[in-house]
Structure 1
Amino acid sequence: MDNNKLGTKPHYQILDGLRGVAAIIVVFFHLAEPLSSSHLNNVVNHGYLAVDFFFLLSGFVIGYAYDDRWNKLTFSTFLRRRFERLQPLVVLGMTLGAVGFYFTDSTIWPHIHSVPVWKLIVVMLIGYTLIPIPLSMDIRGWEEMHPLNSVGWSLFFEYIANILYALGLRKLSNKALACFVVLAGAVLLHFAVTNPNGDVTGGWTLNAEHMRVGITRTIFPFFAGLLLSRVARPVYIKNAFLWCSVLLAAVLLMPRIGGAEHLWLNGLYEALCIIIVFPVIVYIGASGVMHSQREDKICTFLGRLSYPLYMTHYVLVYFYVAWLSNHGGITLWQAWPYALLTFSGTIVLAYASLKLYDEPARAWLRKKLK
């Protein structure tokens, strides 16, 4: 089936902009993380919740874009569309990670220089497919399923959610979907408040524990977003992008709650953010309207930049972490110029990736996969 026969729907520009805001905070989180002594004192403490926000946004957008098209849509056509959208930057991120791999040799990864080229290439090629690698193939030493581009783990679970939707969960009535979402929310809440870490982090290692975390973090927000796209009746809300951006930033920048003595409080906070606050933000964003050309341009730019930024930024973060490791004991105030330089580099790399690679690659795939 020709994908173009399905046409496209107007974008929710404000939601696109919010995706960009979340992606920028993810970068800040990854730059601040190696400067913290523990998960209790990261200055961008809840930045990792942006991934859960992405899952909810994805479910909302997938429901809006495809729910009423399955009379013209097949499973293979749906997957081709998702492949066209997601896969080019997956390939680029893994390739850049491989190119930079040996240059990140440092005190934190002293064994990198001894990794044979053949093994690096095998890991890169497997990374193109997003199939998780076993721990025996972990060439960096962080027990990641994608050691050349750490963020690949979330795309793996994104594909799982998309496949589950297309295979059958899209057929659930609103009532049945609501029951499924409530059950998934209960599982998420239980996990968050009982997790010994006091948070919902995890999902990037190929073992039973992390796979459970990844599935738990994916299923509720994705299908809650799908349900929201079906039942929400947007109303006019003024300055929606501004208010949503402020609320999202406040949630992701919130300091750790409960400390080491009451870890469950932080887990409860994170569960409530995912279950209640994020859907509210998406609802408000979907209800908003553009007030000026400037706001429209900002949201459009942030939306287009968001996915390239997310999928390429960690390539530069590896260099940043290696530099920090080689300058042990450096403080946040000493590191901020290098963090700012790295952040600026991630923006430039993301924009170059978008214009020089992602957009041309997607256009080429659309022609080839008709």
Structure 2
Amino acid sequence: MTISPASEFSNSSQGAGPLRSTGHLHQDISAWTALRAFACVWVVLFHFDQRFETSLGGAFVANGYLAVDLFFVLSGAVIFHVYGAALADKRFSWRLFLWKRFARLYPVHFVTLIAAVAILYGGAAAGLGQAPEYYLGTVLVANLFALHGFGVLEELTLNYPSWSISAEIAAYALFPVLAYPCLVWPRKVLVRAGVAVFLAIIIAVELAPEHIFPSNPRGQKLTSLTYNFSFLRVLPEFLLGLIVCRCLSGVGRLSSRTSMLALGVIIGGMMLCLLTGQDWAFVLAGAALVGLLFIGQFQPPSWMIFLGTISYSVYMVHALVAITLFKGIERVGGYPDNAVPLFWWPLTIAITLGAGYLMWRFVEEPMRQYLTTPRRTTASKHGRGGPAPEYPRADAFPR
């Protein structure tokens, strides 16, 4: 399937301007990679905090679930940055795009899913805990087909952070549709429409009957959706990312001084949102941050770039590390459940990052390369006539 944007896109003087392949795709986005590192550590701190006898406290850690919303906005921006020119030039292949996203996401999802089954049910069989009460067959099928963010289950299951992968896949599947207005509408219209859609869904979720979106301790709001129709959470935020990247494509870089001043203002605004509990405003400020990192002058340290590179694997393994590592620490130290002393913090973070690196090194990256590398073997090599099926070319996928 090839998407061809309207011809008016490249000719309209009222639009956002032509999206050019040269320059756009080669713009440095290392600051976005660093933001991924930050968001990854933030969500790990949020999930681990409840395991300790004393919480680190503060609005920052308590609101770590919003790191996922940053990921969703950033994901939309990155995808448009990579594929926007192909859409504009009528070179976009939906089939190859989805294959690339599958190769990027699913191997790690599959491995961590199987590991979760082994840990939760194998540990229960060995007398190290109780098996979950949900029916394994049902939740396993939902997780295998990445349907566990579509309201088919009644709770988080197995490798529970992977609900966001289910939601992300929905955004990828609809990417050509969501991106189409970005190719034909003027900047101002895009921004207004994106914010309006986001706020409309915010209001709709908060006003909906509770049985549709069961509330949790954080209340019934868009940023609380996980297993219960989380695709409603990802789509407007993904769209915000698309719009940010589209509107800033071709915009000149800010000076270093201006970049730092703007960064301070935006971070200050985001912290105010955390302190006042205004999740919707935090997400909009996060979209502004993504835009600033795109056009600002920032040079993240190499360690943040590396951590951002492995952040997906870290995110996908951190819950499994928590299940096993904290239980081990509790047994060795004789601590009650969820009462590990704070001095264990450095070790838990170090082991989580190490496990994430191993997942990236031996599963994520090799499987991505394997699934996107052409294998032009002939069937006669295996004793059969006719050519073997071809796989998508690696150079067909922007990296």
TM superposition score normalised by structure 1: 0.75
Alpha carbons of structure 1 residues 341 and 248: separation in structure 2 relative to 1, 3 Å: farther
* Number of the residue aligned with 1:130: 146
Q: For 1:130 and 1:136, how far apart are their aligned partners in 2?
A: 11
Q: Which of 349, 356, 368 matches 1:350?
A: 356
> Could you tell me how far 1:98 is from its partner in structure 2?
2.2
Q: Which of 198, 220, 223 matches 1:185?
A: 198
Question: Residue by residue, what CA displacement relative to the aligned partner does 1:52-85 show, whole Å, maximum 9, x if unpaired?
Answer: 1000001111111111203222211111111122
Instruction: Indicate if the aligned counterparts of 1:60 and 1:222 stay in contact, CA closer than 8 A.
Output: yes
Question: Residue by residue, what CA displacement relative to the aligned partner does 1:91-132 show, whole Å, maximum 9, x if unpaired?
Answer: 2221221232236549xx9541899xxx75775465233122
* Number of the residue aligned with 1:150: 160
Q: Report matched runs for 1:209-228 at 5 Å.
A: 210-211=228-229, 214-228=230-244
* Number of the residue aligned with 2:297: 289
SS of residue paired to 2:80: helix
The one-letter code of the counterpart of 2:256 is: K
> Could you tell me how far 1:89 is from its partner in structure 2?
1.4
Alpha carbons of structure 1 residues 349 and 245: separation in structure 2 relative to 1, 3 Å: farther
Note the aligned Cα RMSD (angstroms). 4.0
Equivalent pairs, count: 331
* Number of the residue aligned with 1:362: 368
Instruction: Indicate if the aligned counterparts of 2:77 and 2:245 stay in contact, CA closer than 8 A.
Output: yes
Whose helix fraction is larger, Structure 1's or Structure 2's? 1
> Could you tell me how far 1:359 is from its partner in structure 2?
1.2
The one-letter code of the counterpart of 2:359 is: S
> Could you tell me how far 1:32 is from its partner in structure 2?
0.7
* Number of the residue aligned with 1:261: none
Alpha carbons of structure 1 residues 354 and 215: separation in structure 2 relative to 1, 3 Å: closer
Q: For 1:287 and 1:77, how far apart are their aligned partners in 2?
A: 29
Alpha carbons of structure 1 residues 19 and 330: separation in structure 2 relative to 1, 3 Å: closer
* Number of the residue aligned with 1:21: 38
* Number of the residue aligned with 1:263: none
Instruction: Indicate if the aligned counterparts of 1:157 and 1:218 stay in contact, CA closer than 8 A.
Output: yes
Instruction: Indicate if the aligned counterparts of 1:91 and 1:128 stay in contact, CA closer than 8 A.
Output: yes
* Number of the residue aligned with 2:179: 170
Instruction: Indicate if the aligned counterparts of 2:37 and 2:307 stay in contact, CA closer than 8 A.
Output: yes
The one-letter code of the counterpart of 2:236 is: F
Alpha carbons of structure 1 residues 113 and 79: separation in structure 2 relative to 1, 3 Å: closer
Question: Residue by residue, what CA displacement relative to the aligned partner does 1:152-182 show, whole Å, maximum 9, x if unpaired?
Answer: 111111111111122x222223346445413
Alpha carbons of structure 1 residues 329 and 253: separation in structure 2 relative to 1, 3 Å: farther
Q: For 1:178 and 1:247, how far apart are their aligned partners in 2?
A: 18
> Could you tell me how far 1:306 is from its partner in structure 2?
1.1
Q: For 1:37 and 1:191, how far apart are their aligned partners in 2?
A: 37
Q: For 1:161 and 1:188, how far apart are their aligned partners in 2?
A: 15
Instruction: Indicate if the aligned counterparts of 1:187 and 1:216 stay in contact, CA closer than 8 A.
Output: no
Instruction: Indicate if the aligned counterparts of 2:37 and 2:308 stay in contact, CA closer than 8 A.
Output: yes
* Number of the residue aligned with 1:90: 109
SS of residue paired to 2:72: helix
* Number of the residue aligned with 1:271: 280
Instruction: Indicate if the aligned counterparts of 2:124 and 2:131 stay in contact, CA closer than 8 A.
Output: yes
SS of residue paired to 2:297: coil
> Could you tell me how far 1:23 is from its partner in structure 2?
0.2
Mind listing any 5+ residue stretches in structure 1 that lack a counterpart?
Answer: 258-265
Percent identity for Structure 1 against Structure 2: 22
Q: For 1:79 and 1:318, how far apart are their aligned partners in 2?
A: 32
SS of residue paired to 2:31: helix
* Number of the residue aligned with 2:83: 66
> Could you tell me how far 1:187 is from its partner in structure 2?
2.2
Alpha carbons of structure 1 residues 134 and 50: separation in structure 2 relative to 1, 3 Å: closer
